[in-house]
Amino acid sequence: MTAIVVTPETRAPVPARPGGGLARSFRAEWIKLTRRRMLTGTLLALTVIAAGGTAIGITAARDTAPGGRVQSPDQPTTIAALDHAGGGTALFSQTMGFMQAFLLAVLVGAVAAEFTRGTFRTMLLQQPNRARVFGGKIAAIVAFMAVAVLLGEIVSWLTSWAMAPSQGVDTTRWITLDGLQAGAEDFARAIAYVVGTAVLASMVGILARSIPIGVGVALVWAGPIENIIGDSWSPGPKVFPGLLMRAVINPGSTPVSTGQALLTLTGYCIVAAAIAVIALRRRDVTS
């Protein structure tokens, strides 16, 4: 009996499905992200973090620093800064900055889980092009997080608006055209922050392919390495991705300008995406 050998030349072609591979990957990931349990958990966590972080920030707002020294009005935790047009969303940006390690760990775990559970292998049965699967997943994650960021900013603004009078904050300029522009700028900064985090986290998750390993590496890097070495090493804010994203979401928190941070982060994201695609193409995908 002659054995039948299946080669790339003799393999039956996979029937073409309607729509592009990237679009199908996006829809598949979007369906997963918008499941009822996922939406409920996201909305609950979003409300608690946005409202809680804003409430803590506005309650701690002072015009003077310890020792009676007047703080700079451009600091987001001062009442003088909250009186400005962008005061309604300043505390949301600050809260986003504090969530960096948590957000990175969640995204790394979500990507690594695709390999430990075998779902990535299943997706490749429907769309063999791994780069398109990766691109569709990233696009869906960023789109979902963009909606979450917008909702979080709204919740934060409403919390600030409700608590401002009791803290002596003047909200008159919040509802002006300048206030709207400041809110849009904070939203754009948050989106850039999310995109950078999503791409870098996806690379770590794809390389690790293990939730404990990937999350552990992400937390060690975002915590001790960046915050200890980066803050004490003068070139750190210019080269460490976490500190660069801090400069984007909270301008003035590091000596690096927003433009320089965005330019460097763009380079990092291009390299990270290339590494992720190469790793996907060259390594076996097993369950």
Tokens coding 71: 């703080």
Tokens coding 91: 């505390």
pTM, entire model: 0.79
Tokens coding 233: 């090493």
Q: Which value, to the nearest 10 degrees, does the dihedral of the CA atoms of residues 184, 187, 191, 194 take?
A: 170
Q: Closest Cα to residue 113, out of 195, 43, 38, 164? A: 38
Q: Would 90 be classed as within a structural domain?
A: yes
Q: Closest Cα to residue 190, out of 198, 201, 178? A: 198
- Is the pLDDT score of 166 beyond 90? no
Q: Would 10 be classed as within a structural domain?
A: no
Tokens coding 283: 């390594």
**pLDDT value at position 10?**
47
Q: Identify whether the C-beta of residue 129 lies closer than 8 Å to the C-beta of residue 23.
A: no
Whole-angstrom CA distances from 106 to 73, 133, 166, 208, 215 are 34, 20, 35, 14, 8
**pLDDT value at position 184?**
93
Q: Would 194 be classed as within a structural domain?
A: yes
Q: Would 3 be classed as within a structural domain?
A: no
Q: Identify whether the C-beta of residue 251 lies closer than 8 Å to the C-beta of residue 185.
A: no
Contacts for 252 with CB less than 8 Å, ≥ 6 apart: 74, 75
Higher-confidence residue of 229 and 150: namely: 150
DSSP 7-71: -TTTSPPPPP-SS-HHHHHHHHHHHHHTSHHHHHHHHHHHHHHHHHHHHHHHHS--SB-TTSPBP
* pLDDT, the chain, mean: 81
**pLDDT value at position 18?**
45
Q: Would 196 be classed as within a structural domain?
A: yes
Higher-confidence residue of 258 and 134: namely: 258
Q: Identify whether the C-beta of residue 194 lies closer than 8 Å to the C-beta of residue 145.
A: yes
- Is the pLDDT score of 67 beyond 70? no
Rg of the chain (C-alpha set): 22
> What do you get for the CA distance between the two ends of the chain, in Å?
33
Q: How many angstroms separate the CA atoms of 281 and 225, rounded?
A: 30
- Is the pLDDT score of 27 beyond 50? yes
Q: Would 77 be classed as within a structural domain?
A: yes
Q: DSSP class of residue 224?
A: I
Q: How many angstroms separate the CA atoms of 92 and 160, rounded?
A: 9
pLDDT band, residue 4 (cuts 50/70/90): very low
Q: Which domain holds residue 160?
A: 21-166+173-281
Q: Would 12 be classed as within a structural domain?
A: no
- Determine the average pLDDT of the residues in 173-200: 91
**pLDDT value at position 29?**
81
Total residues found in the chain within this entry: 287
Helix-helix angle 36-59:130-163, to 10 degrees: 40
Total domains present in the chain: 1
Q: Identify whether the C-beta of residue 111 lies closer than 8 Å to the C-beta of residue 201.
A: yes
In the block, tokens 């679009």 appear at: 23
Q: Would 264 be classed as within a structural domain?
A: yes
Cβ burial of 4 (10 Å; 0-12, 13-18, 19+) is: exposed
Interval 214-241: pLDDT, tens:
899 888 888 778 878 877 788 888 889 9
